[in-house]
Amino acid sequence: MNPEAFLNLDRVIHEKGRLAIMSMLAATAELSFTELRDALSMTDGNLTTHIRTLQESGYVTVAKSYQNKRPLTTVSLTNQGRKAFADYVDLLEKIVQQTRKLK
Amino acid sequence: MAERETESGEVFRALLKKSIFLQSRYLSYFSLANYHFAMQSASMETDWAAEHLQTIRTLMERSAVYRRALAPIMVWNGLIGVVGGVAGWKTEHNSARSFIVFWSTAAVLSIIGSFLLVRRQALKESEPFWSPPTRRIAQALLPPLFIGAFLNGFAAYWTWSEGANNSYVAFILILFWLFLYGCAAHSAAFFMTRGMKLFGWIFITAGCAVLLAISMAISKDWQFHFPPHLLMAATFGGLHLAYGIYLYLTEKGKNAS
């Protein structure tokens, strides 16, 4: 089996928590910090750390605004993030296909 | 001397033969183990990658919530409820049969209006009308709404020949409608904004209140003088209208920010 596929997996997205964040953001225009936290059952600190890592890689953008006089933090995928996610999913599919051939 | 050399040579050859045999056996054993390991890891990797893909799919589905503006839909349904309730009361559609026909027509109008509003929003945003979130909402709403429609048909058939002024039939139907509609709203809320869950619970609570009122009336042999049409206006009309106004105000605040 070609090990190159594993080596090419994006390490930033490959982490379980970050993959979950990317998956949720890929299906919608944007999600609030609270929606992400509740949907993924993450702590505030954990989610902040993952979002920061994704932000540093240029995969997500964070916008701060106010809703009903309360601060609202929304997270969305950048074009680069959307492409990286699509590449990641393509690679996973290739791995599944390759290993099924071996069986 | 020559005999000894021959003997030692034979022993050496025998040992060499044995070592070659053992080496080949071990080698084949190790290569077989390696093969099994590779096959096992390949199978594990398939499982792992397939699990990852499944997780991604589940999360993406959960994330794709229904984002159509609910305020106009709620206001439309609220207006149907309030106007229909007052009109039914004023025009005295009091027999069980006419009550069922009247509110079934209102329900059809309400569904058609809601679909047109959703379609208008989809066209405005250049999105497909029958999108995956819309499909999921429809699937969540369908079982309780189907039961409600079936009960309507059953009650209409049962009371068709009677045609009498039977307020209990109307109140029992309202009770079922409230419960079923509350359950439908709660199911749909899994794919919508979280406020819908509370909205569903309010309908279920209203149904419980109506049930308590009916049971008290039966146990104390009271007669209902409260028109069922006005109860429909207060529950279905009032609650939709109140939620619609609340959404208009909050969505307006969000847009302003």
Residue A45: inside a domain:
yes
Q: Write the pLDDT tens digit of every residue in A62-75.
A: 999 887 677 889 99
Say yes or no to pLDDT of B207 above 70. yes
Q: How far apart are CA A9 and CA A6, in angstroms?
A: 5
Q: Quote the pLDDT of residue B247.
A: 86
The band of B169, judged by pLDDT with boundaries at 50, 70 and 90, is: confident
The band of A44, judged by pLDDT with boundaries at 50, 70 and 90, is: very high
Residue A78: inside a domain:
yes
Residue A9: inside a domain:
yes
Q: Quote the pLDDT of residue B206.
A: 94
Q: Quote the pLDDT of residue B224.
A: 60
3-state DSSP call for residue B67? coil
The band of B205, judged by pLDDT with boundaries at 50, 70 and 90, is: very high
Residue A103: inside a domain:
no
The band of B136, judged by pLDDT with boundaries at 50, 70 and 90, is: confident
Looking at residues B76-93, what average pLDDT do you find?
92
Q: Where are the alpha helices (DSSP H) in B160-223?
A: 167-188, 195-219
To test the contact with chain A by mutation, choose from B35, B61, B257 the residue with the greatest count of A C-beta atoms within 10 A, namely B257
In chain A, the number of structural domains is: 1
Residue contact B61–A27, C-beta within 8 A: yes
Looking at every residue in chain B, the average pLDDT score rounds to 77
Per-residue DSSP letter, B34: H
- Candidates A40, A94, A33; CA nearest to B55 is A40
The residue that leads in pLDDT, B201 or A99, is: B201
Say yes or no to pLDDT of B8 above 50. no
Q: How far apart are CA B147 and CA B182, in angstroms?
A: 13
- Candidates B231, B74, B234, B93; CA nearest to B163 is B93
| A26 touches B: beta carbon within 8 Å | yes
Looking at residues A38-48, what average pLDDT do you find?
89
Q: Write the pLDDT tens digit of every residue in A28-37.
A: 778 889 888 8
3-state DSSP call for residue A64? strand
Q: Write the pLDDT tens digit of every residue in B69-83.
A: 788 999 999 999 999
Q: In this structure, is the dihedral angle defined by the CA atoms of residues B96, B97, B100 and B106, taken in order, positive or negative?
A: negative
Q: Which residues of A touch B42 (CB under 8 A)?
A: 1, 99, 102-103
The band of B95, judged by pLDDT with boundaries at 50, 70 and 90, is: confident
Angstrom CA distances, B240 to B21, B59, B134, B185, stand at 86, 31, 20, 12
To test the contact with chain B by mutation, choose from A69, A70, A85, A96 the residue with the greatest count of B C-beta atoms within 10 A, namely A96
CATH of the domain at A20: 1.10.10.10
Say yes or no to pLDDT of B181 above 90. yes
Q: How far apart are CA B152 and CA B149, in angstroms?
A: 5
Selecting from A65, A67, A102 the residue whose C-beta is nearest the C-beta of B42 gives A102
Task: Quote the pTM value.
Answer: 0.61
Residue contact B63–A23, C-beta within 8 A: yes
What is the share, in percent, of chain B residues with pLDDT greater than 70? 71
Q: Which residues of A touch B65 (CB under 8 A)?
A: 28
Say yes or no to pLDDT of B29 above 60. no
Q: Which domain holds residue A9?
A: 4-95
Query: Which two structure tokens, joined as six digits, stand for A61?
Result: 């953008």
Q: By the 8 A CB rule, do A21 and A54 touch?
A: yes
Residue contact B257–A72, C-beta within 8 A: yes
